[in-house]
């Protein structure tokens, strides 16, 4: 009986260790979902050009851009961890209704782009997009970084090191370590996590105006994370926290009005 007990404990330990190894080596497969198709196709109501922004000799990013004018505000949109550019058409239609330019990029490994997504790689992708806009004559002071879910960590990283015209964060998380603890409480996430996106640590470094959008019914990224980031953010800051919105927020009149008011408030 005693030997059987020890054998059972050994099997449990080996099973747990095997889970740790699988999760460690394949963790990015659980984090990034470039092939997901979780959206209803929308009709495009804006004029755009499909371009490919070079990152390095191997990677160019499929992107959509409206007509870029040097002295106009331009949204640089960083999408979340699932799907491709088509999944954001309803948001881009809203930007067009507001009369603002935009550039939306697709990350490495998404939308047929070469490469595999990593934290360091996505920062490189985002910086390449900023550089592309700069080369078109758009100064950072006229760039509004818009991060959606995963993209909020990239927007926070860039704006913590440079000043931009504004920063919009939709459904943001405090860090990927915190998110990992939420989904895998039985794992030592703090030790295992490679791509950490530590937004809560960086947000105090941002001096650009910030708008944080987060639905209180978000069942993926808990609302308290967006609220905590808002509390930690420097002024000037504003928020839109609708009661019934989930992770993919509704682009209704309330959302559009808050976006419009924020953009109009920028110098």
Q: What is the pLDDT averaged over residues 237-257?
A: 96
**Is it true that domain 42-265 has CATH number 3.40.50.1820?**
yes
Percent of the chain clearing pLDDT 70 (strictly above)? 96
- Is the model's pLDDT at 38 over the cut of 70? no
Radius of gyration over every alpha carbon of the chain, rounded to an integer in angstroms: 20
Q: What φ, ψ does residue 146 adopt, rounded to 5°? A: -120, 110
pLDDT at residue 120 tops 60: yes
Per the rule left: phi > 0, alpha: psi between -120 and 50, beta: everything else, 222 is beta
Across the beta sheet with 166-170, the strand order is 49-54, 60-65, 101-105, 74-78, 143-148, 166-170, 210-213, 237-240
Whether the pLDDT of residue 8 is over 60: the answer is yes
181 CB-contact burial (10 Å; exposed 0-12 / middle 13-18 / buried 19+):
middle
Residue 19 has pLDDT above 90, yes or no: no
Q: How high is the pLDDT of residue 42? A: 85
Q: 72 falls in which pLDDT band (50, 70, 90)?
A: confident
pLDDT over 90 percentage in the chain: 77
pLDDT for the residue numbered 131: 97
The conformation of residue 172, written as its DSSP 8-state character, comes to -
Q: Which residues are catalytic?
A: 149, 218, 247
Residue 79 has pLDDT above 90, yes or no: yes
Separation CA 28–CA 189 (nearest Å): 13
Residue 2 has pLDDT above 70, yes or no: no
In tens, the pLDDT along 159-194 reads 999 999 999 999 999 999 999 999 999 999 999 999
pLDDT digits (tens, 9 = 90+) for 193-226: 999 999 999 999 999 999 999 999 999 999 999 9
* Average pLDDT of every residue of the chain: 92
Tell me which H or E stretch contains 27: helix 27-31
Q: Residue 257 — pLDDT band, cuts 50, 70, 90?
A: very high
């Amino acid at each position: 009986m005693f030997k059987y007990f020890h054998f059972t404990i050994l099997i449990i330990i080996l099973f747990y260790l095997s889970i740790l190894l699988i999760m460690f080596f394949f963790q990015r497969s659980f984090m990034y979902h470039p092939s997901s198709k979780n959206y209803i196709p929308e009709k495009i109501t804006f004029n755009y050009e499909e371009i490919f922004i070079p990152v390095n000799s191997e990677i160019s990013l499929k992107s959509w851009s409206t007509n870029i004018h040097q002295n106009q505000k331009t949204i640089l949109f960083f999408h979340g961890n699932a799907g491709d550019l088509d999944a954001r058409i309803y948001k881009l239609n809203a930007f067009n209704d507001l009369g603002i330019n935009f550039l939306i990029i697709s990350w490495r490994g998404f939308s047929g782009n070469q490469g595999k997504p990593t934290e360091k790689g996505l920062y490189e992708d985002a910086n390449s997009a900023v550089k592309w806009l700069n080369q078109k004559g758009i100064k950072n002071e006229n760039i509004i970084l818009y991060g959606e879910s995963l993209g909020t960590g990239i927007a926070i990283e860039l704006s913590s090191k440079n000043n931009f015209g504004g920063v919009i964060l939709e459904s943001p998380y405090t860090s990927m370590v915190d998110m990992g603890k939420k989904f895998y409480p039985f794992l030592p996430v703090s030790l295992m996590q490679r791509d950490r996106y530590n937004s809560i640590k960086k947000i105090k470094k941002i001096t650009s105006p910030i708008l944080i959008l987060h639905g209180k019914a978000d069942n993926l990224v808990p609302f308290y994370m967006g609220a905590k980031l808002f509390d930690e953010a420097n002024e000037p800051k504003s928020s839109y926290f609708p009661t019934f919105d989930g992770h993919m927020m509704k682009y209704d009149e309330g959302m559009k009005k808050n976006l419009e008011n924020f953009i109009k408030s920028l110098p």
